Amino acid sequence: MNYTLNQLNIFLKITELKSITKAAEALYLTQPAVSIQLKNFQDQFEIPLTEVIGRQLYVTPFGQEIAEATKRILAEVEMMKHKGLAFKGQLTGRLNIAIVSTGKYVMPYFLSTFLKQHSGIDLVMDVTNRYQVLESLEKNEIDFALVSVLPDNLKVEKISLMENKLFLVGNPELAKTISKEENELFENLSWIYREEGSATRQSMERFIANKKIQVNKKIQLTSNEAVKQAVLAGLGFSIMPLIGLKNELNDREIAIIPVKGLPIKTSWNLIWLKGKKFSPAALAYLEFLKSNIEAVINTNYKWLENY
C-alpha cells in the first residue's frame, strides 16, 4: 500500500461528514480534488470503503474499520510532531475552543499573538450557535467557550475580554422613516431576529418587551452574517452587536438608529468548566490572556469607543 497522509485526512473527513461536498468545504478543497483522492485511496483496497445509494454516501463496515485505524494513525503522526517540538523546548499541544457565531469578530484577535509565539500549538475552533457551544462545554469536549451571556445551568469560571454593545440598526434609507420620538412607529417595522437560543435574540426580545412593542412582522435567520445581509438589503431592522458592523458603518451602508434604552451592554466572556484540568497549552493561553487583554483591545478595538 502507498497511501498518503493527505488521503487519510480526506478519507476520515468524508467518513465524519458522510459527504464529499461537505468534506471538500471543510478542508478548503475542490470537490473534484477530494473525489480523486478518495478514488486513489479506495483503489488500494479490494473491499469497498464507501458506497452511494441514491445521492447519499454511506461508509461500509470495512470502511468504518479503516476510518478507526486512520484516526489512530493521524493521532500518532500528530504526537510525533509535538514530541519533536517539545524536544526542542517548544510548548506544544492542542487548544480547543467553541465560540458563538458573532464571536468570530472577537476570538481571532485574542489568539493571533499567542499562536505566533507558540508555533507548536494547534488550534481547533468551532464557530457555531450558542446551544452547541454550551453543549460542547458541558460534555467537556473543549477547553474554552466564548459567549456574551453566561449559562445558568453550568458551573463555570470566566475571564472577561471586552464589552459587547448592541444597537438598533437598519438600511440608511429605511432608517430615515423612523422617528426616534415616535416609538409606536416600530410596530410597522419588519424585525429581523436570530434563531431561538441566541444571546443576541434574547437581548432583542427583552428590549422589545420592555418597550411594549407589538411585533407584527418577523424574519428569523440563523447567523449574524445573514441578519446583517438582510439589514443591508432593506428587509427590516434588527438589534445587532456593534463589533460586526465596522465596515458597514464606515461605508455608511448601515445606520445606527438612536433609541432610548440602547445600546444594550454585555461582555464577551471566555468561560470554562469550574474545576477544569487544563492542558499545558490551555493553561499557557489563560496566562497569556491575563497579561494581554488590554493590548489586544488597544490594537484592534479602539474604534468601538466612537459609538
Distance CA 307, CA 256 (A): 9
| Amino acid of residue 298 | N
Q: What's residue 77's pLDDT?
A: 77
Q: What's residue 182's pLDDT?
A: 47
Distance CA 18, CA 7 (A): 16
Q: Smallest Cα–Cα separation from 130: which of 54, 203, 53?
A: 203
Distance CA 294, CA 162 (A): 9
Distance CA 220, CA 226 (A): 10
Distance CA 165, CA 264 (A): 6
Which element (helix H / strand E) includes 46?
none
Q: What's residue 180's pLDDT?
A: 52
Kindly give the interhelix angle for 280-300 and 107-117, rounded to the nearest 10 degrees. Answer: 120
Residue 50 pairs in a beta bridge with 59
Which residue blocks in the chain are alpha helix, DSSP H?
A: 5-17, 20-27, 31-42, 61-87, 107-117, 130-138, 172-175, 199-210, 224-232, 246-250, 280-300
The count of residues in the chain is 307
Going along the chain from its start, the domains and CATH numbers come out as 5-87 (1.10.10.10), 93-162+267-306 (3.40.190.10), 164-266 (3.40.190.10)
Distance CA 100, CA 221 (A): 15
CA 30 to chain centre: 23
pLDDT tens for the 307 residues of the chain, in order: 788 989 998 999 999 899 999 898 888 889 999 999 999 999 999 999 999 888 899 999 999 999 999 988 887 777 777 666 555 656 778 899 999 989 999 999 999 999 999 888 889 999 988 999 999 999 999 999 999 999 999 999 999 999 999 999 999 988 877 755 445 556 677 899 999 888 899 999 998 888 888 888 889 998 889 999 999 999 999 999 999 999 999 999 999 988 888 999 999 999 999 999 888 889 899 999 999 999 999 999 999 999 9
Q: What's residue 174's pLDDT?
A: 82
Distance CA 157, CA 145 (A): 11
The answer to whether 177 and 202 are in contact (CB under 8 A) is no
Angle at 305 between CA 101 and CA 209, to 5 degrees: 55
